[in-house]
A and B are shown apart, each in its own frame.
Chain A
Amino acid sequence: GEDVEQSLFLSVREGDSSVINCTYTDSSSTYLYWYKQEPGAGLQLLTYIFSNMDMKQDQRLTVLLNKKDKHLSLRIADTQTGDSAIYFCAEANFGNEKLTFGTGTRLTIIP
């Protein structure tokens, strides 16, 4: 079955860049997503990338995909205190549109 792995914690100084990593096992993954979960809240879709792309940029967010290594990363430039949250990567593929989530990475911002 599908397996999606992330490191559990990341601490970054305010103003620095944050890089959150994710690895997945399903080679048929078609779309890969990054979600943000703030305390006590549901999930907010931040961005997604199609598997035939290797990079996508959206304002402060940059997604990099290494399909050969099945490695996905999310870079947040100029990290702010409002970026403190748990970040989940997720994957889905055609014919199996349910999302399979990673374990989540808790991002803590150090003032």
Chain B
Amino acid sequence: GEEVAQTPKHLVRGEGQKAKLYCAPIKGHSYVFWYQQVLKNEFKFLISFQNENVFDETGMPKERFSAKCLPNSPCSLEIQATKLEDSAVYFCASSHAAGLFDEQFFGPGTRLTVL
């Protein structure tokens, strides 16, 4: 499609439950980025993919967080055993390439609330 699509728009989980978020990048874009925006508006980079391969995972928490981008499927970000501090808006972005000239187009985000 012409826009980055993210589902669901809102997700509510009890502490300890699993959360799974999805992102469909713009058609033809090879790179996908995940960012976490917490309540104070801070954006934190989590992970990026080049097609189905992890490109940069330096921002991913070592435990509980995992992500995949498989061929012919939306990319996913999964949080096992959610904690209260995981409450945030998770944004996905895609770009044609990973160069600094290549604009990252952002999706509308998924708001995760952990109760």
Contact = CB atoms under 8 A, between A and B. Distances in A.
Contacts of B56: 96-98
A41 B6 CA distance: 12
Interface SS of A by simple majority: strand
Interface stretch (B13-21, B70-78, B96-104): B96-104
B45 A98 contact: yes
Contacts of B106: 42-44
Size class of the A contact interface (CB-based, 8 Å): 20 to 34
Interface in A94-110: 94, 96-101, 103-104
Interface SS of B by simple majority: loop
Nearest to A86: B41
Contacts of A61: none
Contacts of A94: 100
A102 to B, nearest CB: 9
A103 B40 contact: yes
Contacts of B35: 99, 101
A45 interface: yes
Nearest to A94: B100
Most buried by B among A42, A43, A45, A93: A42
A62 interface: no
Contacts of A97: 48, 56, 98-100
A101 B107 CA distance: 17
A12 interface: no
A103 B100 contact: no
A101 B100 contact: no
**Chain A to chain B: the 7 pairs with minimum beta-carbon distance, closest first:** A42-B106, A101-B43, A104-B41, A43-B106, A98-B45, A31-B100, A97-B98
Given A42-B93, A97-B98, A98-B56, 14 more contacts: A42-B106, A42-B108, A43-B93, A44-B106, A45-B103, A86-B41, A90-B43, A92-B100, A93-B100, A97-B48, A97-B56, A98-B33, A98-B59, A104-B42
